[in-house]
């Protein structure tokens, strides 16, 4: 389970979380990711990597979902930041703190990608 609290382009935390998730899925592990605080900006459909000839974070989230990852976002964090459900790729669930609690309870390993390192 990955708790992602960082926004894209702020530092390399989002890319690290996405790469770890992709590798784990390719090795047959289950991946649950919970987006909290600025982490809810990660999968926004409006992002484009085109000007820089790279995949957008949104495209990477879509690929993880296709590989079987469960991605959930904090509804309160989204509302406070003006992120609406239609701004996210299909397959990103919107939930609350109870969803995070369930993910944590069921996880064998938890990676907290919350910034301060």
The tally of domains found in the chain comes to: 1
Residue 117 reports pLDDT greater than 60? no
Report the mean per-residue pLDDT for the chain.
Answer: 90
The CA distance from 110 to 103, in Å, is: 9
What domain range is 84 assigned to? 2-113
Residue 3 reports pLDDT greater than 60? yes
CATH code of the domain containing 14: 3.40.1260.10
The CA distance from 23 to 84, in Å, is: 29
Q: What is the largest CA-CA distance in the chain?
A: 41
- What share of the chain in percent tops pLDDT 70? 94
Entry pTM:
0.90
């Amino acid at each position: 389970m990955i708790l992602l609290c960082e926004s894209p382009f702020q530092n390399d935390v989002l890319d690290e979380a996405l790469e770890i998730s992709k590798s784990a899925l390719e090795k047959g592990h289950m991946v649950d990711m919970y987006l909290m605080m600025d982490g809810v900006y990660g999968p926004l459909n409006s992002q484009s990597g085109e000007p820089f000839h790279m995949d957008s974070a949104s495209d990477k989230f879509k690929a993880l979902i296709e590989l079987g990852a469960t991605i959930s976002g904090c509804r309160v964090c989204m509302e406070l930041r003006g992120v609406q459900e239609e701004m996210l790729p299909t397959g990103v669930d919107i939930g609350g703190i109870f969803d995070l609690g369930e993910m944590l309870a069921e996880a064998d390993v938890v990676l907290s990608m919350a910034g301060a390192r």
